[in-house]
Amino acid sequence: MLRGANSMYKREGHKQRCVGMDEDAAAARESVELVFQMSNILETGLDRHTLSVLIALCDLALNPEALAAVVKELRKDPPSTSPTNSC
């Protein structure tokens, strides 16, 4: 009987963790949406995916100014569409 009670507790604990994760995911989506709206106002041209990657990198303690410099540099030199390997 104790075994059944433990497994029920684990399931309830898992359910509680899922609810918390759902709330975290909703908050993250809301944050990305807000940043996307600000990005549009500032006419940055960045899409939601790019913004979410940049936010994640900032969350990992990367320097936001350095990330901005990388984005600017990548925009200056767009990737070529032709293959670079000519065999």
> How do residues 13-46 score in pLDDT, each as one tens digit?
555 556 567 888 898 899 999 999 999 999 999 9
Q: Which residue, chain included where needed, has tokens 């990992």?
A: 60
pTM of the shown model: 0.62
Banded model confidence at residue 5, pLDDT cuts 50, 70, 90: very low
Residue 26 to residue 24: CA distance in whole angstroms:
5
Banded model confidence at residue 54, pLDDT cuts 50, 70, 90: very high
- pLDDT of res. 81: 72
